[in-house]
Chains A and B, each alone.
Chain A
Amino acid sequence: MNGQQAIDVRGLTKSFGDKLVVDHFDISVPRGAIYGFLGPNGSGKTTTIRMLCGLLLPDAGEGTCLGFDVRRQAQSIKTQVGYMTQKFSLYEDLSIRENLDFVARMYGVRDRRTRVSSALADLGLADRAGQLAGTLSGGWKQRLALAACLIHDPQLLLLDEPTAGVDPKARRDFWDEIRRLSKAGVTVLVSTHYMDEAVQCDFITYIAYGKKLIDGPSADIPGMVGLTTWRAEGPELAALDAEIAGQPGVAQIARFGSTLHVSGVDAAALEATVRRFEARGIHRWSLQPAGLEEAFIYLMTGARDNFSRDAA
């Protein structure tokens, strides 16, 4: 087994018909890390996760997942991986206990009864164990799904947008649980759209239209994108927004509450533009350390251009 890497794959490629969904994707996830998987809808996140856990056979690429070959040892990978699907995928016409029991049987969990009962107790659903899973609310379904994919104590968790449509309190509880698992040595690969979740990850990879755009420790991502951001405060930000758009050095403008963040990769040109506007004395300008959010908005804009070039 190759020491520290839970997932180590190179050149993963998948197309459906003539549509290339994942294009030579590399990823290397250290054991025990929380790895954030970001990208717009339809960027190939779900397809990549499905290839990692053996649900889809990659067209090309190779590598290992928990030390097993992703192409030939899918069966061994499945026993060690917990996969939480984007959509609730337990049986709505089975009760909570029956669902957990079924999943436990699928993995051949030892001391199944005790394990299921303790999972029910951890969930706080011990007294509702007989209730049909279909009658649960969105937040409870998500907790049940997590409990189900943890029932066989997997070493790797693959979570596909686990918190979509879940209220903020439940999302926070969910992330507390993820961090607890990570401390216990479980590797977590989680796809998400939420920035507040992205910042909780140790590493982040961003993919768009099947291509990886960036990959690294989350603290380094803004630096890697190379954005300089200026913050403007003052009246009539909408007018400023319209006016400054397209000026030299300005790549992106984003509104944050009562401030405007103006970013660009050409720091000198951007500064010259900002100084020109500052000289008018209407807005207060200050240099702002670039954050993840700007970095991703920038990446997404770039990806869209990239896509429209493809389409043309």
Chain B
Amino acid sequence: MRMFSFSRFLAVLMKEFIQMRRDRVTFAMMIGLPIVQLMLFGFAINADPRNLPTLVELNDDGPIVRSVLAGMETSGYFDFRGVVHGPDAGEDALRQGTANFVVVIPADFERDVVRGLRPDILVAADAADPSAVGGAAAALSRIVAGAMAQTLTGPLAAAGPSPAPFGVIVHRAYNPEGRTSTNIVPGLLAIILSMTMVMITAVAIVKERERGTMEMLIATPVRPLEVMLGKILPYVLVGYVQTAVFLVAAFVVFGVPFEGTFTAFFIGFNLFILGNLALGFLISTLARNQMQAMQLSFFTILPSILLSGFMFPFAGMPGWAQGLGMAVPATHFIGLVRMVMLKGADSGDLGAEFTALGVIVLVISLAAMLRYRQTLD
């Protein structure tokens, strides 16, 4: 009795391909969805929002005020929508969400500046969503200082900002323009791959059980490994297609660079796909029906998005959460993809990521093989 029959494995593989081809909706989803998601999220997500609606409460007017406001407008963060009168009107606008910022210029502002009394400009921000206003707020003092330096010259220079005794230069390496898409797009590959890979394999085995075909299948001499490989390999191919489509779109549409070596990417990418497929397989041995399989898959997707460093900085999480995040394959793959695509890493730089992914693949596969039974019990 042979332990592995290549022809049976091939038969399962061909059957999967035929079924995949007949299930048009799923097939379209596997190829079309990544593109749609990439376009949608690649363009939609912006961690550094600009053109935020802003109102001004003008209690004084003059060349200094105008130059401050002009500086704010040219920074791109603030979009002046109009002037309000009195403190209540500004507060209302913030509460109703018609404005993210209200800039209050106090009375006698120009005179106090010239007298060197250092008056305050109040910028009220709607910080209910801190990330929406954070970038603009952080840029404010720089903008105002810049505007002042241009206006307060000659005898007025004393009222202007005094230069710090030393300079600080920030070099934004790997993404000098701070573009969100450069950060988001490589991460999206990890999310899209985990979503399709985990979900489709999770459903693949459960579907056989739910339709009763599993009973016929295991009544034949077919071996678990033949079924597992035969069912998984077609989806590895799907993963390849998704990634190819993705890389082309990332380069052509978003201009995301690919600085590193392809070998490094290829090794990491295969490990990641294997990990996801094994995870899907494990889920399908746990779930009793397709609904449960979907729910369990979703359970694994959320940490991939929230704990992996895709949405929020990994370093910002408390230690225990980082530990959890380390168990998520997407964490390592996102790190790896960013290193390869943006930082020009080659295989030698990625030992830690490869090891982590390898360990995860091994553990999950082992669990899946132990859970898969050749019987119906």
Residues of A at the B interface (CB closer than 8 Å) are 50, 53-57, 74-76, 78-79, 81, 83, 85, 87-94, 98, 102-103, 105-108, 148
Contacts and interface: CB of A to CB of B under 8 A. Distances in A.
B212 interface: yes
Contacts, number: 74
B172 interface: no
B374 to A, nearest CB: 8
A85 B11 contact: no
Contacts of A98: 15, 18
A64 B7 CA distance: 29
Nearest to B226: A106
Contacts of A75: 1, 221
Contact of A93 (B5, B19, B375): B19
A93 B23 contact: yes
A91 B19 contact: yes
Contact of A79 (B19, B23, B221): B221
A56 B221 contact: no
Interface of B: 1, 5, 7-8, 10-11, 15, 18-19, 22-23, 211-222, 374-377
Given A78-B220, A83-B219, A108-B8, 18 more contacts: A53-B219, A55-B218, A55-B376, A56-B376, A57-B377, A75-B221, A76-B1, A85-B216, A85-B219, A87-B212, A89-B213, A89-B215, A91-B15, A91-B19, A93-B18, A93-B22, A105-B10, A105-B11
Given A102-B11, A106-B221, A89 B212 contact: yes
A144 B214 CA distance: 17
Nearest to A77: B221
Contacts of B211: 89, 92
A108 B226 CA distance: 14
A88 B211 CA distance: 9
B222 to A, nearest CB: 5
22 contacts: A53-B219, A54-B219, A54-B375, A56-B375, A74-B374, A78-B221, A79-B221, A83-B216, A85-B219, A89-B211, A89-B214, A90-B213, A91-B15, A91-B213, A93-B22, A98-B15, A102-B15, A105-B7, A105-B8, A106-B11, A106-B217, A108-B221
A42 B295 CA distance: 31
Nearest to B223: A75
A74 B220 CA distance: 10
A85 B212 CA distance: 9
Question: Which among A79, A85, A105 has the highest number of chain B CB atoms within 10 Å?
Answer: A105
Given A79-B221, A91-B15, A55 B23 contact: no
Nearest to B213: A89
Contacts of A74: 374
A291 to B, nearest CB: 35
A87 B216 CA distance: 10
Contacts of B8: 105-106, 108
Nearest to B19: A93
Top 7 A-B pairs, shortest CB-CB distance: A105-B11, A106-B220, A89-B216, A83-B219, A89-B212, A87-B212, A78-B221
Given A50-B376, A57-B375, A94-B19, A107 B215 contact: no
Contacts of B22: 93
Contacts of A105: 7-8, 10-11
A88 B18 contact: no
Contact of B219 (A57, A76, A78): A78
A146 to B, nearest CB: 13
Nearest to B21: A93
A94 B18 contact: yes
Given A91-B15, A107-B221, A55 B5 contact: no
Contact of A103 (B220, B374, B375): B220
